[in-house]
Amino acid sequence: MAMFWRRFCRNRLAFAGLVILVLFVVSALLAPYLTTHDPNKANLRLRNQPPSSAHPFGTDDMGRDILARTLYGGRISLSVGLVSAGISLVIGTILGALAGYCGGAVDTVIMRLADVFYSFPFLILAITISAIFGPSIYNTMIILGVLSWPGPARLLRAEFLKFKTTDFVAAATALGARPGRIMFRHILPNAFSPLLVSATLEVAAAILSEAGLSFLGLGVPPPAPSWGNMLNRARPLHILAGMPWMWIPPGLAVFVVVLSINFVGDGLRDALDPRQEKKDY
């Protein structure tokens, strides 16, 4: 663990990304203590106000505090990213493990199903399904999670194909271990490192996809704040040109969080790479 942490901290961008990501998570969790404003309370007398001491990030076209909506929106955007990535990883882990370990017809069916998912543009398919079922936080989580499983499944399949011919798997088979135990007790822990890296990238992709769906009005429905639907409120040209305080905070939050997660993913990949051990000496 100490060696892993040392290799991770050596990557300055990854360490900086982790610090920034922790700050965003903490600020989202402590949102009620960092602002006294209700993110959903409208006050038309204060609409479109520029940043001031009372409202450090200004107010939107409904008079709601932008800072409060950005902080509370981080809760929803980060939650959607984490949950949808979790759904994707669960489905991808099960199907990837079955495809890699069983092979044959099982592998063919699962991989052709993954090809079907890959044959459709991800965002177009997500928009279509969201339009059918309607905008909802939970629908967004499920849609993004279900549509994202082919990536982790392909990655894990490749790892299982590599490990299932190793001596420790042959020994477990000779001792009478069941296939389920071999897959999830012996092979999966050894294939966990690339899966962990993939998980960080899945979270970043899910946050970006949620922002895109909410921007189009098909993600998190108002008045619940999310970075995507905050950007949706700032679409009119007069707001883009004359009221930058309405779109810079949520846009910058999406950009910084996604970039930080990608940096963390790169750092995890380097820190978990066994070839890095030789460079430590």
Question: Within a domain: residue 125?
Answer: yes
Q: Dig out the tokens for 215 from the structure.
A: 């921007």
Question: Within a domain: residue 225?
Answer: yes
Say which residues have a Cβ less than 8 Å from residue 139's Cβ, sequence separation at least 6. 130, 133
Question: Within a domain: residue 155?
Answer: yes
CA distances from 232 to 54, 212, 240 (A): 24, 9, 11
Q: Spell out the per-residue pLDDT of the chain, length 281, in tens.
A: 677 778 888 888 889 999 999 999 999 999 999 988 889 888 888 888 999 888 999 998 888 999 999 999 999 989 999 999 999 999 999 999 899 888 889 999 999 999 998 888 888 899 999 989 888 889 999 999 999 999 899 988 988 888 888 888 888 888 887 888 888 888 888 887 788 888 888 898 888 888 888 888 888 888 888 888 888 888 888 888 888 999 999 999 999 999 999 898 888 887 776 555 545 44
| Distant-in-sequence contacts of 102-108, Cβ < 8 A, 24+ apart | 102/179, 107/157
Look up tokens 């460079």; give the residue: 279
Residue 134's CATH number: 1.10.3720.10
Q: How far apart are alpha carbons 165 and 172 in whole angstroms? A: 11
Q: Dig out the tokens for 259 from the structure.
A: 């970039």
Question: Within a domain: residue 28?
Answer: no
241-252 burial code (b ≥16 CB/10 A, e <16): eebebbbebbbe
* Domain around 261: 76-274
Question: Within a domain: residue 132?
Answer: yes
Q: How far apart are alpha carbons 153 and 135 in whole angstroms? A: 27
Say which residues have a Cβ less than 8 Å from residue 36's Cβ, sequence separation at least 6. none
What's the one-letter identity of residue 152? Answer: P
- At 65, give phi and psi (nearest 5°): -70, 125
- Per the structure, the count of domains in the chain is 1
Question: Within a domain: residue 263?
Answer: yes
Question: Within a domain: residue 63?
Answer: no
Question: Within a domain: residue 25?
Answer: no
Q: Dig out the tokens for 11 from the structure.
A: 């990557």
pTM recorded for the entire structure: 0.85
